[in-house]
Structure 1
């Protein structure tokens, strides 16, 4: 199996972290799916690490050759529309990979296109978007992917070969679902807190009291993971508290960036999913609910032009 055609939707920070490598590896075999408004913007060029790229762009309405692989790199709030927009790129043998954070996007996509198409994945790449320019660091993270059944299939081998050709850092974890939950544990214990407190990464490195705040939400994620059957361990939870030591202390997580830019956050992906699973499995998650409502306040304040000191 060889991947010759890749279609991707979503050219935010994460999309821009993968697009240059795929474009260099595939040439016109790589294309970005975008509506007319975004299409004209992309065709004028997007700056990634101080280099301007003009990627091939197709509209959702255009019909053509099916892609071997479709990658979704949109924000959670745009996922449902993206699922519709990729339809003309999906053929009988197309694989679908979601680079969204969280634990729910693969299941949502599978409801539309079937579980058999899904390649499970996550990313730990550091990328920041400011206006029409993106700074990406491929040295401090990687892409992870695999089959839900944790077998090294021909599909996984083909994606690995593609990522090697694209010079994109990757790994294939022994248990992809477990790896996704561990990343979810990191995100859920940092992003919402940072968004509410306007806290840069340094707050999560130097303040002992912040560890207590994080532990409260970490405990809820662990309890839900046990109910679901993923079973994050106590060691996982302790390890998560040290991960932030590797971050740039002046850096900002994605949810804080969204808040400062006046965008809607991904609170539903991180906290909403946890609340839903808590209700489904009868696990109390009061901290998740509190943070969810606090971020709702921040979003509403942004919408009304109110400043939170």
Structure 2
């Protein structure tokens, strides 16, 4: 399959780089500044690989991995539109759920699939991808969970490339479960300006984390997507850790960068309002993030 990776940040750079390293036919669609950096320095996965990606987009592609921040989604979809053919599959590696309607509206339900990626990675000062833990997982599949004759080829392309990849017949549920996890961790660490370990070491910190997680779970449940036992166990482990775990939103905030406040926290607060669910802690976190974003 011809693969187009939209974005070469920590997520797109890592998964796209692994596919390229495994010999897949990969092209990156990136902004001019990032393209120049890749041409000069290569795509580097710190301590693991130095790759030389192609960034000249031509024709249409069979598989698109959409790996941009939510605030770049509209521009990214406009840029990739000429590369989308009648049988193109687009798998988003974004957070939250707002991108689903946008993708379906722009490209049609037959092209827009669901996707979930789990990775702890960042870009360093040189623009190199730094994998922070061994977690590197992608799940994907049609939004309706039904059969699709392209699934086998997509799976063959994504598996055996140095990361964990699997198809899912419940991808929307998995996307909601990740959203609950990210909103909880993002709200906790940005509201209190601390790692999860530091929060749990402080008086009242553990109870705060549990209450915040309960709000996020309540919203998902009211929306018809109650997290399953495995997702709840992961959430419990993440919010109760004594390790200095932070969220990507916290790391962006402490560096003065834009944050995905609306897509991760704000949309969940709005969803809570639609279902009459009280979320005072999530609301406070969103207010704080909105103040930060306005001050930038």
Structure 2's unaligned 5+ residue stretches are: none
Alpha-carbon distance in structure 2 between the residues aligned to 1:234 and 1:93: 36
Distance 1:6-1:208 versus aligned 2 partners, 3 A rule: farther
Alpha-carbon distance in structure 1 between the residues aligned to 2:223 and 2:83: 33
Query: For each residue in 1:9-44, what CA deviation from the matched residue of structure 2 results, as whole angstroms up to 9, or x when unmatched?
Result: 1111111220122112345x2111123333212211
Structure 1's unaligned 5+ residue stretches are: 304-309
1:200 and 2:195 are equivalent in the alignment: yes
Alpha-carbon distance in structure 1 between the residues aligned to 2:151 and 2:203: 41
Residue in 2 that maps onto 1:307: none
Query: For each residue in 1:187-239, what CA deviation from the matched residue of structure 2 results, as whole angstroms up to 9, or x when unmatched?
Result: 11111221232222423665683332223333332332233222336885465
Distance 1:246-1:285 versus aligned 2 partners, 3 A rule: closer
Does the Cα contact within 8 Å between 1:73 and 1:99 map onto a contact in 2?
A: yes
Which stretch of structure 1 is more off in the superposition, 165-174 or 14-23? 165-174
Which residue of 174, 183, 192 maps to 1:188?
183
Instruction: State the secondary structure of the residue aligned to 2:113.
Output: strand
**Number of equivalenced pairs:** 293
Residue in 2 that maps onto 1:129: 123
Post-superposition offset of 1:244: 5.1
- Map 1:93-104 onto structure 2 (within 5 A): 93-104=87-98
1:39 and 2:35 are equivalent in the alignment: yes
Alpha-carbon distance in structure 1 between the residues aligned to 2:227 and 2:32: 44
- Map 1:213-232 onto structure 2 (within 5 A): 213-232=208-227
Does the Cα contact within 8 Å between 1:227 and 1:281 map onto a contact in 2?
A: yes
Query: For each residue in 1:50-71, what CA deviation from the matched residue of structure 2 results, as whole angstroms up to 9, or x when unmatched?
Result: 333221003xxx6x32100111
Distance 1:162-1:236 versus aligned 2 partners, 3 A rule: closer
Distance 1:69-1:174 versus aligned 2 partners, 3 A rule: closer
Distance 1:216-1:201 versus aligned 2 partners, 3 A rule: closer
Query: For each residue in 1:284-308, what CA deviation from the matched residue of structure 2 results, as whole angstroms up to 9, or x when unmatched?
Result: 333222111112233445x3xxxxx
- Map 1:1-309 onto structure 2 (within 5 A): 4-27=1-24, 29-44=25-40, 45-50=42-47, 51-58=49-56, 64-131=58-125, 132-136=127-131, 139-151=134-146, 153-203=148-198, 209-232=204-227, 237=232, 239-243=234-238, 249-301=243-295, 303=296
Does the Cα contact within 8 Å between 1:146 and 1:152 map onto a contact in 2?
A: no
Distance 1:121-1:259 versus aligned 2 partners, 3 A rule: same
Which stretch of structure 1 is more off in the superposition, 232-241 or 125-134? 232-241
Distance 1:107-1:210 versus aligned 2 partners, 3 A rule: farther
TM-score, normalised with respect to structure 2:
0.88
Alpha-carbon distance in structure 2 between the residues aligned to 1:280 and 1:178: 19
TM-score, normalised with respect to structure 1:
0.85
Does the Cα contact within 8 Å between 2:70 and 2:94 map onto a contact in 1?
A: yes
More strand by share: 2
Instruction: State the secondary structure of the residue aligned to 1:115.
Output: coil
Alpha-carbon distance in structure 2 between the residues aligned to 1:193 and 1:242: 14
Post-superposition offset of 1:47: 2.2
Post-superposition offset of 1:154: 3.1
Post-superposition offset of 1:122: 0.8
